């Protein structure tokens, strides 16, 4: 551990974890978060699903939805939702990042900018105590910024481990996030989350809120 202002973080908190490691890190919490996140997306709305293991769990939780157009730059989300009859898919194509199945680059950004979607379900590699959403890969961040700018309601899905990590690139601040779904309340040191008007949902074990 190393000390920081307001708490402590793992010394390796700036290391980008591999895809399989991220999937295993908080799998049970991600499933609970995803179930709550999917509940926020009504039928007959439109959705962008971004890169990330938690957003993939949200996609699995959306299989019962109907009349739901989904735009995504995540090949894993495509594979999950392709067999679902009530979901229409559009793919933000681009260069495929094999490490996590993300489609990135200028082509993906341009396609996202053509849409105005009701909802976007996003995640980040890290969340700063001031509420800044952070990530590692510039091309992924470019797509994420476009998504945030072209969605009516941004839903952030993130487990509590993301407050213990950091990353060098800013996606956005809390001003663009309407709903935050997590497994534990944000750290007490995070004044941003306590002071902003975000609709925070805590998906606790056992189904309590």
* CATH number, residue 153: 3.40.50.1360
Which of the four pLDDT bands, split at 50, 70 and 90, describes residue 22? low
Which domain does 125 fall in, by range?
2-7+24-207
Instruction: Evaluate whether residue 18 is within a structural domain.
Output: no
Neighbours of 84 (CB within 10 A): 17
Which of the four pLDDT bands, split at 50, 70 and 90, describes residue 26? low
How far CA 29 is from CA of 93, 99, 129, 180, in Å, comes to 30, 22, 20, 14
Q: Is the pLDDT of residue 138 over 90?
A: yes
Instruction: Evaluate whether residue 19 is within a structural domain.
Output: no
Neighbours of 179 (CB within 10 A): 18
**How many domains, in total, are found in the chain?**
1
What's the pLDDT score for residue 23? 53
pTM of the model: 0.86
Cβ-contact 155, 122 below 8 angstroms:
yes
Q: Is the pLDDT of residue 203 over 80?
A: yes
Instruction: Evaluate whether residue 12 is within a structural domain.
Output: no
For residues 94 and 48, give the distance between their C-alpha atoms in angstroms, rounded to a whole number. 16
Instruction: Evaluate whether residue 16 is within a structural domain.
Output: no
Instruction: Evaluate whether residue 99 is within a structural domain.
Output: yes
Instruction: Evaluate whether residue 72 is within a structural domain.
Output: yes
For residues 180 and 103, give the distance between their C-alpha atoms in angstroms, rounded to a whole number. 24
Cβ-contact 118, 156 below 8 angstroms:
no
Structure tokens of 97?
A: 């990042």
What's the pLDDT score for residue 197? 79
For residues 22 and 125, give the distance between their C-alpha atoms in angstroms, rounded to a whole number. 9
Vertex 79 angle, CA 77 and 83, to 5°: 110
126 or 1, which is more confident?
126
Instruction: Evaluate whether residue 15 is within a structural domain.
Output: no
pLDDT in tens, 148-200: 999 999 999 999 999 999 999 999 999 999 999 999 998 877 778 777 778 98
Instruction: Evaluate whether residue 138 is within a structural domain.
Output: yes
């Amino acid at each position: 551990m190393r000390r920081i202002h307001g708490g402590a973080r793992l010394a390796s908190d700036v290391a980008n974890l591999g895809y399989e490691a991220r999937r295993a890190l908080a799998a049970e919490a991600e499933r609970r978060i995803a179930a709550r996140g999917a509940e926020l997306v009504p039928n007959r709305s439109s959705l962008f699903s971004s890169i990330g293991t938690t957003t993939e769990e949200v996609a699995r939780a959306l299989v019962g939805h109907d009349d739901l157009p989904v735009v995504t730059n995540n090949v894993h989300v495509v594979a999950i939702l392709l067999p679902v009859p009530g979901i229409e898919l559009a793919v933000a194509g681009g260069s495929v990042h094999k490490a996590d199945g993300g489609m990135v680059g200028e082509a993906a950004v341009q396609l996202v900018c053509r849409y105005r979607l009701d909802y976007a379900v996003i995640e980040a590699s890290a969340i700063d105590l001031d509420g800044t959403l952070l990530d590692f890969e510039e091309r992924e961040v470019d797509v994420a910024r476009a998504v945030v700018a072209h969605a009516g309601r941004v839903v952030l899905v993130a487990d509590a481990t993301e407050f213990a990590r950091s990353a060098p690139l800013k996606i956005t601040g809390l001003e663009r996030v309407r709903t935050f779904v997590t497994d534990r309340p944000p750290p007490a040191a995070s004044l941003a989350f306590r002071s902003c008007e975000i609709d925070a949902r805590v998906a606790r074990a056992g189904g309590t809120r």
